[in-house]
Chains A and B, each alone.
Chain A
Amino acid sequence: AQSVTQLGSHVSVSEGALVLLRCNYSSSVPPYLFWYVQYPNQGLQLLLKYTSAATLVKGINGFEAEFKKSETSFHLTKPSAHMSDAAEYFCAVRAGGNKLVFGAGTILRVKS
């Protein structure tokens, strides 16, 4: 069965520091992988997606993620955190059929 593990339910970084949010997945079908961001009291918004093209995927707001098949990972990074990056981040993987399976989420806190 497909599953997603996000390591760390809460991550805290200083403004200007590197952001690293970890995601590991298991999938028995060719993986399509996604990162979504959720700002307080809003719906989920796509940050970036991997669909079997380039392994390094660039998204909105300066975020990027690298697909590593050997490590079954799709970690999200941003070189320099901004206060506006404070949000909850969800990793998701295509499951069987058309479904997506979501991780439990990581809340990112950015300290000034």
Chain B
Amino acid sequence: NAGVTQTPKFQVLKTGQSMTLQCAQDMNHEYMSWYRQDPGMGLRLIHYSVGAGITDQGEVPNGYNVSRSTTEDFPLRLLSAAPSQTSVYFCASQDYSYEQYFGPGTRLTVT
């Protein structure tokens, strides 16, 4: 099992550009989520999904969109990148005991 995979590992964007961060899991988990990690702030929930076709906003959803067309994939879209979105982004899937499995992260810099 590959677990949770994320691409790309690194990305540099200019202000106003858009991009999609990819996330996939092969554990057949219904629940998936996206977090951003900033120094001293822990992980903050951006969006989450409880199953294919169902998504909802987390703590910091502004500037991000998600969709969940399949159980496996949960992409995160940045609509118009801003310097405030410079961060490390983690995707995670969750099993029935609420344990979350994290991907390796995407380090995004917006200039």
Contact = CB atoms under 8 A, between A and B. Distances in A.
Interface size class of A (residues with CB under 8 A): 20 to 34
B104 A102 contact: no
Q: Chain B binding site: helix, strand, loop or mixed by DSSP?
A: strand
A43 B94 contact: no
Given A9-B40, A44-B102, A98 B97 contact: no
B42 A44 contact: no
B40 A100 contact: no
B42 A103 contact: yes
Interface in A1-44: 9, 32, 34, 36, 42-44
A46 interface: yes
A57 B17 CA distance: 46
A46 B42 contact: no
B52 interface: no
B90 A44 contact: yes
A51 interface: yes
B43 interface: yes
Contacts of A43: 4, 90, 102-105
A48 to B, nearest CB: 10
A45 B102 contact: yes
A94 B100 CA distance: 11
B74 interface: no
B108 interface: no
A104 B102 contact: no
Given A43-B4, A94-B98, 12 more contacts: A32-B98, A34-B99, A34-B100, A36-B102, A42-B104, A43-B102, A44-B100, A49-B97, A99-B48, A100-B100, A102-B35, A102-B42
Interface of B: 4, 31, 33, 35, 40-43, 45, 48, 50, 58, 90, 92, 94, 97-105
